[in-house]
Structures are given as C-alpha cells and as structure tokens.
Amino acid sequence: MGKRATREAFGETLVELANEGMNVCAVDADLAGSTTTNKLQKAYPDRFVDVGIAEQDMIGVAAGLSLTGRIPFTASFAVFGVGRCYDQIRNTICDSNLNVKVCPTHAGITVGEDGATHEMLEDIGMMRALPNMRILVPADYRAAKAAIRIAATTPGPVYVRMGRHKVPEVYDESFVGGLPYAGVLREGTDVTILACGVEVAQSLAAADILAQSGISAEVIDVFSVKPLAEDVILSSAEKTGRVVTVEEHMVETGMGSAVASLLAEKRPTPMRLVGMRSFGTSAPGDVLLEHFGLDGAGIARQVEEFVRA
C-alpha cells in the first residue's frame, strides 16, 4: 500500500460508519480539508458542522450533539483541538462522561515545517490525566481506521491521536485493535521496545539495526495508551528484563510515563524513555525524526547504549 498518513483514515472511516447506519457526525474547526472530515461533509452534509476558528465552541457543540444520541467526532490540529480547549474537554465532556470522540490530526514533531508552535507534544499527558478518557495512538493508516471504529462503538470519551506525516504500512486490512490492546510485532529476548504512533515503524527499523549488533529486540505497538494492555507489557518486561519506550511526545507525561508507572507498581524493571525533551523546530518530518534521535538509527543507538551500559 505504501506510505499513508493516519489522518487519511479519519474522514474515510466516518463515511463508512455512516453508510453502515451509525449515527456519527463531525464537528470541525475550519480545517476540514486537512483533517479530512470534508469527506463526511461531502457524503452527508447534514452530519457535518464547521464552527470556524472556535475550538472551545467545537467541544461545546459536540457535547450538545452527544446528548441527542449522535456520536460526534471533533476535528482540528492537536495543538488547537486539545491545547485551546482543555477546559471544555475536562469539564464538559469528561466530568459528565459524554459520548464525544476527540480526534485531532497533525500531532507530534512530524507536523514538520509548521514548527514548534504547531507540534503538539503534550496531548497524551493532558488526556491521560482525565478521568473517563481513553487514548488510542494508531501506528499507520489501517490502525487509524480501526481506532476510529473503536471510538465510535465505545461509550464515553475517546481520544484518537493522528498525524500529518506519511508513515510506512505496519498492518494489513485484518487489524482490529482493541481497548486495551498492545501487539507484539517482533519477538526478542534482550530488550523490549514499546512504541506508539509513528514510532512503531521506526522501532521495527531499529530492531533490524540492533540485530546486526547481536541485540534481540522485542517490538510492541502500544496502540492503546489508556488503558494499557498491562499483561502484554508486564509479560514482555519479565521476559527481556529491560524496557525502552519510544514516542513522538514529551517523555515526562506520555506513553513512557504511563509504562513507567505500571512497571514501578507491578514489576520494577530497568527502563529508558526515548522521546521529546524540548519543543520541536521547523524542518521536514523525516529530518526532525533524525535530528531528535527518533528515527530507526537514532532509536537503535539509544537502545544499544542502554543494553550495553
């Protein structure tokens, strides 16, 4: 299939769900072309609302629609769709446990040339802290389709994190995921690499590089960041005795932090968190992955340092 961005699955899947009879709708904040919700707008104009550049209103409208029995999906760039309306997500959606799906695109440093102001690196942490919120971070186009379907059929708030960057194919059309779900994509014995989103394909590439140095890396896709698939993670940690988490997000509050909390409580394990520790900058997505050590070679280098320390 080649490389496709996870955001490309958004509008397509909403149309499929509407065709199947689900009462889905989209509330967008003047970015329907970029988020791809314009596909639903074209197919079902009465299921689409554009509130303009008013992200807080977007959340309020979606909350109201959910109370009428609809299944609303909000759509904007992550830095706006979370950062500008956290208060509304917290107090209007999560406190009342409303059936609203917060599904921004353009998350992480792979937004690229738009620069640090648009590279949302704190959203997983913000959503992790909220009671009632579930979090899915798909690794590729097909995983994103699965995530949207899961969100639509799961009662209550769900956060789906999607990106602008075209990523390699990881799954085939049979992938369905779950809440919780973590999939072992490569068996290994020396170290566990837990990755999410765009970093899943990069971690598989890192495992190939590590194998050339005699290091056997197990690679797991943490598709569901909240709740975590605890049994899968704990079993792998027990097997390899070392854990590295890799994410396109601030390490202080992201998936790695969630895994660290799990291991500290249930199975203390030597661990390293690989991810962002600063704001991003402006450059093509692939260049930024390399610059911040989040491409295959950079991940392999950090994992090898950890294993051989």
If one counts every other C-beta atom within 10 angstroms of the C-beta of residue 113, the result is: 13
- Catalytic residue, from 8, 55, 218, 304: name it: 55
Q: Could you list the beta-strand ranges (E) of 108-190.
A: 134-136, 158-160, 166-167, 183-186
Amino acid at 217: A
Q: Could you list the beta-strand ranges (E) of the chain.
A: 4-5, 24-28, 48-50, 71-75, 101-102, 134-136, 158-160, 166-167, 183-186, 191-195, 217-221, 224-226, 243-250, 271-276
Cα 142 from Cα 9, distance rounded (Å): 7
55 is catalytic: yes
Residues in the chain: 309
Catalytically active residues are 55
